[in-house]
Structure 1
């Protein structure tokens, strides 16, 4: 693990630590970094799925959906 010295807004850090329920600055910074990375990964996945969805055949989906609802 790397050791880095940075200036952090003490008020923001204290508020984040209270909300997260962590006791050390190190825990809070590591938690924030992990959460940021996870949020970005989810956001990028959503964008990939959205791009893929642009080529879906909506008419066929709705036709099959209606057929499943009314099996007659």
Structure 2
């Protein structure tokens, strides 16, 4: 793991620590980095799906046979 000296906004760091439940700066920064990576990967996957990435699993869905019966 690389050691890097950076200036971090203390208020944003504190807010992130509260969100992630972390207690150290290192843990908070690592959690935020991991979260950003996962969010982008999920969005990329959703974009791929939206562009027809799984053509056999997308398209119209027939409602259940008992739909609307009451």
Between the two proteins, the alignment pairs up a number of residues equal to: 64
RMSD (CA atoms): 2.5
Greater CA radius of gyration, 1 or 2? 1
Moved more, 43-52 or 6-15: 6-15
Indicate the structure whose relative CO is greater, using CA pairs within 8 Å and at least 6 residues apart. 2
What whole-Å deviation, never above 9, does each CA across 1:8-34 have from its counterpart, x for those lacking one? 001111122123221100000000000
Q: Which has the higher helix share?
A: 1
Which residue of structure 1 aligns with residue 45 of structure 2? 45
For structure 2, list consecutive stretches of 5 or more residues without a partner in the other structure: none
State the SS of the aligned residue for 1:69: coil
TM-score of the pair, normalised by structure 2: 0.73
For structure 1, list consecutive stretches of 5 or more residues without a partner in the other structure: none
TM-score of the pair, normalised by structure 1: 0.72
Stretches (4+) displaced over 2 A: 55-58
